[in-house]
Structure 1
Amino acid sequence: MEKGYKKFIVATIIFFALAILLAVVFPIQEVESFIAAMVLLGVMMMILTALRMKESSAKIQDWIQSKVHIRPTITKIGLVLILIGGGMILLRKGENPNYMMWEASIVVMGGLLFLIGIFSKHFLFKNLIIATLMVFFTIVYVQKSQQPIQLRSIVLTSAFWVVTAISEIKRIKAKEKSTIFKSDFCKVEYHKNEKVVFLQWKQFCRGEDYRAPVKCAIELARTNKGCNFIVDARNGFEDDPADVEWGFKEFLPQMSETGCKQVVFIMNEVNDIEGEMDMWTKEFMKYFTVKRVTSYDEAITALTY
């Protein structure tokens, strides 16, 4: 079991135990809602732990990646509604307007919009689903219990939701593109959203300056089964016949064993190395489905259709 999982499980157990302890020590109606919220949070964290343990499941991850997309505008609107609803609750906490269900509804509506907007090609959105469920069930509990002190539950879960949402945004942005290799000649990245190994040449090179990033791309493809390969050759490529021979004998057979099915070359419309790229394209076609485009966006589209 990974170290991160162990820490998360320990934190979950402590949180859940604290909720039970409060229920035993303070079994009075005034803190009932606060205790209920903490118990609910503990249960949800346990569910989240179980889900985290399944993150390596390729089937689940592939299903999610085929269903979800980021919608930044909806995400921002949802976050604004959450903040507005939470702020209104805090401003009116001394009043008793039927337990502020309107404000709570704004928070839930914002949560749902945020959830729709944050649907990304990551497994991370489960945190937001759980946080949204927490807010929703707490509000239902408030309505049924008819206890003014239940306001604490809404504030608690709303605050947790906002913190979770902000955390998820940061994590998603950090993991969208991961630079694995970088030099004066080349950059190799793995784009998790698109499931793409991206190799971008900055200038012509030879020897280890050429082979090192290519080997890195092979390892990335091995690690991320089922990914595709995009090569940006607009500003450079190999510049030595020995590297061409190495590419044909070593690089292409090894890359074909990684499970990669599609390769896209990004090239300028008029390219000085057109003849050489035709040679590479012909060789690549022995192992992969090959397409040639003029931009990264076109490359992603070419992989989709």
Structure 2
Amino acid sequence: MGANIYKNKKPLFLFLVPAFAFMAIFLYYPFIQNILNSFKQITELGAASKGWNDPWYTNYVTMFQDENMRVAVRNTILMMVVTIIGQVGIAIVLALLVDNISHGAKFFRTVYFFPIVISATALGLMFNLIFLYDKGMVNQLLESLGVTELIDWKGEKLALITMMLPVMWQYVGFYFVILITGLNNISGELYEAAAIDGATGFQKVRYVSIPLLHNVMCTCVVLGVTGALKVFDLPWTMFPKGIPLGETWLTGTYMYYQTFNTKNVDYSSAIAVLIVVLGIVTAKVINTIFKEKDY
């Protein structure tokens, strides 16, 4: 009797229609419209287009010739590498360490996850104060250690590092929670069997924890790499308009700049399309390299 209720599937469509309608209105339509806008002339946000570009692919030619766009793509790719090594890599180490302690595990889980719940804008302002040239916390600490020459952390040479460090610090806790959950799902019997076979703590991690955590790590890497394409709020707060000298542009911040500062809406639409394409390609590459395994 109970199984018969699943035979009539017509009511399912009634419940699925609102979800599909919502996605069509707020996801698919804006996405398709954005692609069309990238081929038109739109000089201001919310304004009607002045017609199609001549030629229609003008914005894409401009994008490949734009030096700032090349800088933004280069920095975004670098951000992906920082994400894999600095965020997911550190999160793996922290998760393994916390999983192997008997006291204070809950405390460390809270502490490591805490940065992700703080507003990125607030974090950007905080790190601006930390890296100030005059009376910034880092330079004051260096002065107390005897360093006489102040470091310009937001200058041309160190701006990119200064921008990426807070982004890396903020999201480590996010991947830490995912990885520690994956570790908790590993059966304790496997560790007991390894201990009976004489495995040391390091060998348990190498031959039990890491292999069984492989699929979770793959998920974290894909999330991190695709998320690097959308990083915006914290870098923009620390380096609005890509200063100094545009060396800190990311695809997300440069798209925002073109939309709201230069009012070049059609060009920013083309950048948005490029971000989508980069996201699809990189996700495909990462999924190919880090293939999930069946156990």
How would you bin the TM-score normalised by the shorter chain? under 0.3
Q: TM-score, structure 1 length as denominator?
A: 0.25
Q: Which has the higher helix share?
A: 2
Which of the pair has more CA radius of gyration?
1
Task: Calculate the TM-score normalised by the size of structure 2.
Answer: 0.26
